[in-house]
C-alpha cells in the first residue's frame, strides 16, 4: 500500500443513531474503492466492519471499527461507530481523532435523539459535519419532511447537495445540485448513468443550486465578491467555498444514499475527498498542559496518540493511533507517556476492519495501528525521545449506571479480576472498582446495555458466569447528642490475664464547635477519616488512672468501631470522644485489653447518643425534552428528590435536583423508558443527610436480620 501524504488523507467519523445504516455505508465505501469485491450484509453476518463475535450475534456495532478506502488518489480513513448511547465512549474517541463527522440519518425515521447527540458531540469538538440521508429506498419515505426536520433541528445551515427523484421503493435516481446532473442507478445499484436534469425538475434544481452557491460564497470573502459580480460560481469555487464553510461550521451539506444497494455512495466519497478538510486543516490537538498545539505537520517531532485499544485473536493487544506529528515507521523507538519507558513500534498497519496491511510508514494526520506495545493504552502519547509532548487525553463522561457483580463460582474470583482488568483496558468507560467499604465489586457503565455487554464478554469469551445485583448504599452513622458509658474488659484463664476499664463521653462533632467543659482536656487529637468526617479524641484523664501508653490502644479500638458502625456496620463519622476515667491492673493490663474496652464503651455510648444513619445525596441534572418534563418530574419526586431549579435551552429543559443515591438504582433504564431514550442525565456526590425515621428503622431491621443469618 502506498504512503499517503497529509494533504491526501481524509479522516471521517461515521456516526448516527442505531440502525441508521452506518455499517452498510462503510461497507459500500470499501466496495466502491475496490478493497472488497462484494458487498457484505449485516443480516448475513459478513460485513468487514461488524466482525466481532458479539456484533455478529447482536447484529449491531459494539465497538468502533477503523477502515480505509482509497478514492481518486486520496485515502479516506473511516471510523464506523456504534449508534446506541451506551457506547458513546467509542463515538467520543473516534470523533477526537477524526477531522470530519459524517452523520448517517435513517430516512424512515428522520433525525433521532442519536442524531442530535452525536451532532452536538461533533460541534463541541469543532468538527465539520456532513449529513448522509440513508435508506431512501425504503417505503413511506418523505424526503421533504426529512429536510424540514433536519433544518428545524440543526438550522438553515443544512444545505442540500442532492435530492432523490423518487424516494421510496422505486428509488433509482438523484439530482446533484452542485454538478447539476441527474444520476440514474441500475436496478441493483452500482455505477450510475449521468443524465441531464429532466425538465419537470429543472426549477427545483435551479433553486437548490442557487442556495448551495450562496452557502459556498459565504465561506470566503473573495468568493462572495465573485458571486456578487457573476451571480454564480464555478464548481471548483463551490468546492472551495464549501470546504471553508465546513471548517468554520457555517454549512452542513446533505447527500442521499441507499448504502445497501450502493446507490449514491461513490458521490459521497467524491464529496469527502473534494470538500472535507485534510488533517492539517482540521486535525488540531492540544497538549495536556496547553503549551502546544499539534496541527499534523510532518516536520514536527514524531508524536502518536493511542485513541483505542483492542485485543484481537492471533494478534493480542492492538493499539490504534493517530500520527499528530512527524512520521512513524516500523522499528522506530518512541517514549510512552504512561511510564516514560521506551516503546519500539514493531509494525505499522493500515486497518480495514478484520483486514490489516503492513505499510512502510505513516505520516502526520494518518490513522493506523500497531501491536505488542508494553506500556501504551488508550490515551497514551508516544513521542520522540528528544521532544516530550503529551497529547490532551480524551475526556470520557463519568459512568452513571452501577451494578455489583460476583462470580457464581467463588473459584473464579481471581479469573474474574483479570478478565475485568482486560475489559477495562479495551473499554476505559467501563470502570471496575472494588469497594472495601461495601465489600463488593462494582461495575460502572453508561447503561444497562453497556453492562450486559460486559456480561456477554465474561460468559462467552472468558467462560465466567456472574450474577449482578443492586450495589449496597454507602451509608454513614453519627450521633445527635451527648452520651456516656464505661466498659470493663476482664479475662482470666491462668497466668497473665486481661484487664482494662474505660470511661468515656461522646458528642456530635461540627465545624467550629467549642470544647466541652465538663472534663479538663489534657491532650487533643484530631483525625480526618478516609471516608469523610472527623474523629476527635480528648485525653481527659487526671491522676493517672490510665497510663498514657494505653491511649494508642484505645484509639485503635475506636477506629475499629468507626470503621464498622454499631447500627448497620457502615462507617461512622463526626464524633468527639472524651476519655475521662478508667482503671488498669499492674500485671494484666495490656494493649488488647484497652482496645477492647475502648471499642465496647464507644458502642454502648453510641446507641444512647441519638444515633442517626446518614445517606449519600447526589446532585442530579436531567436534560429532557419539554414535552416529557412532567413525567420526569413526577418520577424524580417519587424518588424523594428535592427539585432545585429548571432552565430551558431550545427544545429541552434542564431539571436540577438533589436525590438520595438509594433512589437512583436503575434510573438510566427508567429515564430511557419515560422519554423513549431522548433524555440524558449526570450525577455527582453532594453531601450526606439523615435518612427519614421510617427508612432508618427499616435499615436497622435489615441489618439485624443479616447479622442473625450470619450467626
The whole-number average pLDDT for the span 648-662 is 92
Q: What pTM value is reported for the model?
A: 0.89
CA 282, 283, 285, 291 torsion-angle sign: negative
What's the pLDDT score for residue 651?
82
Equal fold, 401-469 vs 614-694: yes
- In this prediction, residue 474 has a pLDDT band, given cuts at 50, 70 and 90, of very high
Residue with cell 433504564: 669
In CATH terms, the superfamily for domain 6-282 is P-loop containing nucleotide triphosphate hydrolases (3.40.50.300)
CB 29 within 8 Å of CB 76: yes
Q: What is the mean pLDDT of the chain?
A: 93
The whole-number average pLDDT for the span 452-473 is 94
Strands 575-583, 534-539: pairing is parallel
Yes or no: is domain 614-694 CATH 3.30.160.40?
Answer: no
Burial tier of 711 (Cβ tally within 10 Å: 0-12, 13-18, 19+)? exposed
Cα(304)–Cα(360) distance, rounded to whole angstroms?
A: 16
What's the pLDDT score for residue 494?
66
The whole-number average pLDDT for the span 304-321 is 91
The CA dihedral of 291, 293, 297, 300, to the nearest 10 degrees, is 10
Cα(226)–Cα(203) distance, rounded to whole angstroms?
A: 24
- In this prediction, residue 531 has a pLDDT band, given cuts at 50, 70 and 90, of very high
Cα(519)–Cα(239) distance, rounded to whole angstroms?
A: 86
What's the pLDDT score for residue 134?
95
List of residues 6+ apart from 285 with CB closer than 8 A: 96, 293, 294, 305, 324, 391, 392
What's the pLDDT score for residue 23?
94
- pLDDT for 710 beyond 80: no
- In this prediction, residue 624 has a pLDDT band, given cuts at 50, 70 and 90, of very high
In CATH terms, the superfamily for domain 401-469 is Elongation Factor G (Translational Gtpase), domain 3 (3.30.70.870)
CA 387, 392, 394, 395 torsion-angle sign: positive
Rg (CA), the chain: 32
**What pLDDT digit, counting tens, does each position of 534-591 carry?**
999 999 998 889 999 999 999 999 999 999 999 999 999 999 999 999 999 988 999 9
What's the pLDDT score for residue 711?
58
Q: Report the range of poorest mean pLDDT among 39-43, 209-213, 678-682.
A: 39-43
- pLDDT for 316 beyond 90: no
The whole-number average pLDDT for the span 62-67 is 95
Cα(670)–Cα(91) distance, rounded to whole angstroms?
A: 24
Top-confidence residue, 592 or 228: 592
Q: For 285-383, which CATH class?
A: mainly beta
Portion of the chain with pLDDT greater than 90, in percent? 78
Q: Where are the domains of the chain?
A: 6-282, 285-383, 401-469, 477-610, 614-694
- pLDDT for 480 beyond 90: yes
> Alpha helices of 254-391 — where are they, by DSSP H?
265-275, 279-282
Q: For 477-610, which CATH class?
A: alpha beta
Burial tier of 700 (Cβ tally within 10 Å: 0-12, 13-18, 19+)? middle
**What pLDDT digit, counting tens, does each position of 364-404 carry?**
999 999 998 988 999 999 999 988 889 999 999 989 899 99
What's the pLDDT score for residue 388?
82
- In this prediction, residue 264 has a pLDDT band, given cuts at 50, 70 and 90, of very high
- pLDDT for 125 beyond 80: yes
What's the pLDDT score for residue 43?
83
Find, among 230, 204, 202, the residue nearest to 216 by Cα.
230
List of residues 6+ apart from 482 with CB closer than 8 A: 505, 506, 507, 516, 609
- pLDDT for 495 beyond 80: no
Dig out the grid coordinates for 192 from the structure. Answer: 450510475
CB 98 within 8 Å of CB 91: no
Amino acid at each position: 500500500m502506498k504512503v499517503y501524504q497529509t494533504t491526501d488523507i481524509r479522516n471521517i467519523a461515521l456516526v448516527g443513531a442505531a440502525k441508521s445504516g452506518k455499517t452498510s455505508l462503510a461497507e459500500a465505501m470499501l466496495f466502491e474503492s475496490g478493497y472488497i469485491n462484494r458487498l457484505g450484509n449485516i443480516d448475513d453476518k459478513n460485513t468487514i466492519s461488524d466482525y466481532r463475535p458479539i456484533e455478529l450475534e447482536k447484529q449491531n456495532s459494539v465497538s468502533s471499527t477503523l477502515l480505509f478506502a482509497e478514492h481518486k488518489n486520496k485515502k479516506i480513513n473511516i471510523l464506523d461507530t456504534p449508534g446506541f448511547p451506551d457506547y458513546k465512549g467509542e463515538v467520543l474517541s473516534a470523533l477526537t481523532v477524526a477531522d470530519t463527522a459524517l452523520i448517517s440519518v435513517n430516512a424512515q425515521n428522520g433525525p433521532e435523539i442519536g442524531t442530535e447527540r452525536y451532532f452536538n458531540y461533533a460541534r463541541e469538538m469543532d468538527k465539520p459535519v456532513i449529513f448522509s440521508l440513508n435508506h431512501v429506498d425504503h417505503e413511506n419515505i418523505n424526503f421533504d419532511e426529512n429536510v424540514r426536520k433536519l433544518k428545524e433541528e440543526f438550522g438553515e445551515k443544512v444545505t442540500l447537495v442532492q435530492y432523490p427523484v423518487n424516494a421510496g421503493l422505486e428509488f433509482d435516481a438523484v439530482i446533484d445540485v452542485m454538478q447539476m446532473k441527474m444520476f440514474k442507478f441500475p436496478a441493483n445499484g452500482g455505477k450510475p448513468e449521468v443524465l441531464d436534469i429532466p425538465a419537470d425538475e429543472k426549477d427545483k434544481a435551479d433553486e437548490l443550486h442557487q442556495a448551495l452557491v450562496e452557502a459556498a460564497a459565504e465561506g470566503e470573502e473573495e468568493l462572495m465578491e465573485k458571486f456578487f459580480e457573476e451571480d454564480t460560481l464555478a464548481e471548483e469555487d463551490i468546492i472551495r467555498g464549501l470546504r471553508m464553510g465546513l471548517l468554520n461550521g457555517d454549512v452542513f451539506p446533505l447527500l442521499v444514499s441507499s448504502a445497501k444497494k450502493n446507490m449514491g455512495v461513490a458521490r459521497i466519497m467524491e464529496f469527502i475527498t473534494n470538500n472535507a478538510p485534510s488533517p492539517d486543516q482540521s486535525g488540531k490537538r492540544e497538549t495536556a498542559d496547553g503549551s502546544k498545539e499539534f496541527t499534523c505537520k510532518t516536520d514536527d517531532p514524531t508524536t502518536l496518540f493511542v485513541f483505542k485499544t483492542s485485543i484481537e485473536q492471533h494478534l493480542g493487544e492492538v493499539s490504534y493511533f493517530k500520527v499528530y506529528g512527524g512520521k512513524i515507521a516500523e522499528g522506530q523507538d518512541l517514549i510512552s507517556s504512561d511510564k516514560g519507558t521506551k516503546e519500539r513500534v514493531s509494525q505499522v498497519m493500515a486497518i480495514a476492519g478484520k483486514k490489516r496491511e503492513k505499510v512502510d510508514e505513516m505520516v502526520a494526520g494518518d490513522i493506523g495501528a500497531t501491536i505488542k506495545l508494553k506500556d501504551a493504552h488508550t490515551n497514551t502519547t508516544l513521542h520522540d525521545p528528544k521532544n516530550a509532548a503529551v497529547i490532551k487525553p480524551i475526556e470520557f463522561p463519568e459512568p452513571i449506571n452501577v451494578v455489583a457483580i460476583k462470580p457464581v463460582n467463588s473459584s473464579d474470583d481471581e479469573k474474574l479480576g483479570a478478565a475485568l482488568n482486560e475489559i477495562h483496558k479495551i473499554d476505559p468507560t467501563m470502570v471496575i472498582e472494588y469497594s472495601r467499604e461495601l465489600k463488593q465489586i462494582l461495575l460502572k457503565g453508561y447503561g444497562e446495555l453497556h453492562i450486559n455487554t460486559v456480561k456477554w464478554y465474561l460468559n462467552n469469551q472468558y467462560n465466567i458466569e456472574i450474577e449482578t445485583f443492586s450495589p449496597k448504599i454507602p451509608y454513614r452513622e453519627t450521633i445527635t447528642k451527648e452520651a456516656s458509658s464505661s466498659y470493663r474488659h476482664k479475662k482470666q484463664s491462668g497466668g497473665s490475664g486481661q484487664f482494662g476499664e474505660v470511661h468515656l463521653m461522646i458528642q456530635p462533632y461540627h465545624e467550629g464547635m467549642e470544647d466541652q467543659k465538663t472534663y479538663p482536656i489534657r491532650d487533643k487529637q484530631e483525625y480526618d477519616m478516609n471516608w469523610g468526617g472527623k474523629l476527635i479524641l480528648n485525653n481527659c484523664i487526671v491522676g493517672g488512672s490510665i497510663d498514657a501508653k494505653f491511649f494508642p490502644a484505645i484509639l485503635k479500638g475506636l477506629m475499629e468501631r468507626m470503621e464498622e458502625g454499631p447500627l448497620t456496620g457502615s462507617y461512622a463519622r463526626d464524633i468527639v470522644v472524651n476519655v475521662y476515667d478508667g482503671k488498669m491492673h499492674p500485671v494484666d493490663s495490656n494493649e488488647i485489653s484497652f482496645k477492647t474496652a475502648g471499642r465496647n464503651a464507644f458502642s454502648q455510648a453510641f446507641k444512647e447518643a441519638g444515633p442517626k444513619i446518614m445517606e449519600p445525596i447526589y446532585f442530579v441534572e436531567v436534560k429532557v425534552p419539554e414535552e416529557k418534563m412532567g413525567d420526569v418530574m413526577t418520577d424524580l419526586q417519587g424518588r424523594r428528590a428535592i427539585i432545585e431549579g429548571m432552565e430551558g435551552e431550545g427544545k429541552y429543559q434542564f431539571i436540577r435536583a438533589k436525590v438520595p443515591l438509594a433512589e437512583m438504582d436503575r434510573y438510566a433504564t427508567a429515564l430511557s423508558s419515560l422519554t423513549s431514550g431522548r433524555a440524558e442525565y449526570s450525577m455527582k456526590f453532594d453531601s450526606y443527610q439523615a435518612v427519614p425515621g421510617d427508612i432508618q428503622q427499616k435499615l436497622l431491621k435489615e441489618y439485624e436480620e443479616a447479622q442473625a443469618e450470619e450467626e
